[in-house]
Amino acid sequence: MRLAGGICCFLLLSLHADSAHTVAAGSGRRGAERVGRGVGRKSPPLGRGAQRPRESPTPAPPLGALHVVVPLASYQGEESSYSVLPGKKGQCSFSGIMMYDSAVWSPEPCVTCLCSSGRVVCDEATCPPRQCPHTFTPEGECCPVCSDMGDSLELSGDSLAPSEHTDPQQKASPRTATGRDRLLHGLEHKSEEEDSGEKDGEKRQRKKSTERRQPQRAHSEGRTSEKDGKPSHEEEDCWTSREEVEKEAHRSPNQESEEEEEEGEGCFSGGAQLPPLPSACSISDRKISCINAKLTKIPNIADPELRSLELIGNAISCLPDKAFQGTPNLERLDLRKNAISSSGIGPKAFKALKKLTHLYLDGNSLVEVPPALPPRLLELKINENSLQALEEESLAELQQLLVLELEGNQLSESNVSPLAFAPLRSLTHLRLGQNRFRIIPQGLPASIEELYLENNQIEEIKETSFNHTTNINVIVLHHNKIEEDRIDPLAWIYHENLESIDLSYNKLYHVPSYLPKSLLHLVLVGNRIERIPGYVFGHMKPGLEYLYLSFNQLNDGGIHPVSFYGAYHSLREIFLDYNELKSIPCGISRMTSLRLLRLNNNKIRRLRQERICGSENRDSRLEHLHLENNYISSRALSRYVFPCIRSHASIVLGPQKVK
């Protein structure tokens, strides 16, 4: 009896331990499923012209700019999007984002990082000492600047009003030449009431200091003040006749101003006194930013030390010849979202900007590339305009240009000269999306590394399309009309640097053959693909790493045992979601580097262990496996269905569809 009692106690203890283990396993499985469903796939911002996938139970992530990336290998537990761009030689990975060689960025305020031959070097900004009683740090800047009286003045409409905190003695003292003091000619003169309380010696000192800071004052001196009752000419037309200019010049008592008015016509011709910068503008030592400030003309700024000028979202319609003569050292000029027309740009509008390297003209009304652009430009953006032609001489002087963006215009092979890009010997990034090209543009420079032609009408890729672009690394052709038999076998197969191709949302029925042997990243989302031909990846070295086939028409018969031959040891991610598969495809178990497999939203009913773990049941490196929204029986929904997946795994099995 004692023996029987002992056995009963042992059995009870065993049953209790088993039940506890089962509960723990169940909670672990539910936790894994919850984590798997909760992890968001980092997607880049929706690019211009990018469209959502066709209607489906769960929409696919948007297709955006390829360089905004978070690869799976960067962070454990996070999943990548379609836009994983493999690192090119010399590029750096910083917080999961690929940076080009020589790229400079600021991960946090006052810290600057540089990508140098694959190595990230960061440095914290050092501020020089300021010998002034009052300083302030402008918004977006790291170092303080001297404020003097500029801190206590409010820049608004038509007057300079001292603030409540202005020191009376400071109000009466002459101003020094700070960044704020050099802004506008209108800011250099106080009203007669303010000047009346100053000593004569201080007046002479102010006048001398002002003349030293502004050697060219013809635009402001001699113009009629508002208290004379003369009407303002700010609302007059952009171009003024010579008779009107001369008539207005005779009204001025200053002979120097008369001569200046007779020389130039344009937005400022008519003698109009422009008001000071509106209060919406932010000002620092070397940067002025007027975003949505309701400006109608270029402010009359005289500051040789100014480096950056932002005039985004205003109503500026023209750029006269002398618009920037007071800012000869500008390096960055941003005129996006204005109303600038080609006829409103003077032939010498940019002549004074010898040091300009970045020019942004997006969202205007240009029909042609502006004339006489600064030869030192590194970046030129004219997106979302109405460009109707690129002539041979349109970009003739831009031999140092690195980035050219002309998206959202009316360009096509019929109005773009084959010699238009010939002068761009340094160009690396070219964006021509949302135009009207039916073929790859001719005459692409040999230096090109990234080419974006999404949302055009391209139907074929000829053998000669990329003959001279041996350095090309990324080609984006999503949302076109390309069929696989219209891709010439010799179009790009021998390219040794081409690593990323995006052919999403075209008219492909199977994975194209004769892909580049150097290819690492292939995006074929949203086509009509029914088949992955055998050995289609067999010639690639070192081998394809990222393959995205979501939203196609793949079925079990379209994937053969040798479909993935050549990529067994290189593939890291495969997206096969939103297809018509009824089982896990062949060849998956042979992929030794696979980290992410998406098979959700198919028609899978049965889970075959050997398709993931192989016959030897060796350990798998899979970290994410998605099988939700299929027709898998609840009996097969077990955490142990794939015992080879052991660590860092997020297996998502539910929910499942009901027949």
Q: What is the pLDDT of residue 356?
A: 96
519-538 per-position pLDDT tens digit: 999 999 999 999 999 999 99
Output 288 or 175, whichever has higher pLDDT.
288
Strands 135-136 and 500-502: unpaired
- Characterize 106-120 residue by residue with b for buried, 16 or more Cβ atoms within 10 angstroms of its Cβ, and e for exposed: eeeeeeebbbeeeeb
Question: Burial, 521: exposed, middle or buried (Cβ in 10 Å; 0-12, 13-18, 19+)?
Answer: buried
Strands 145-146 and 135-136: antiparallel
Give the CATH class of 473-659. alpha beta
Is the pTM of the predicted complex or chain greater than 0.85?
no
Q: What is the pLDDT of residue 116?
A: 76
Q: What is the pLDDT of residue 128?
A: 72
Binning pLDDT at 50, 70 and 90, where does residue 621 land?
confident
Q: What is the pLDDT of residue 82?
A: 81
Q: Tell me the C-alpha to C-alpha distance, in Å, between residue 576 and each of 524, 586, 626.
A: 10, 13, 10
Q: What is the pLDDT of residue 129?
A: 73
Task: State the average pLDDT for the chain.
Answer: 74
Please state at what angle helix 255-263 crosses helix 242-250, rounded to 10 degrees: 170
- Measured between alpha carbons, how far is 433 from 447 in angstroms, rounded to an integer? 19
Segment 60-65 mean pLDDT: 34
- β-sheet with 104-108: strand ranges across: 104-108, 111-116, 119-124
**Residue ranges of the domains in the chain?**
32-124, 473-659
Q: Whose structure tokens read 């984002």? A: 97
Q: What is the pLDDT of residue 98?
A: 61
Segment 407-421 mean pLDDT: 95
Please tell me what DSSP assigns to residue 579: S
Q: What is the pLDDT of residue 50?
A: 39
Segment 281-291 mean pLDDT: 89
Segment 417-430 mean pLDDT: 94
Q: What is the pLDDT of residue 29?
A: 37
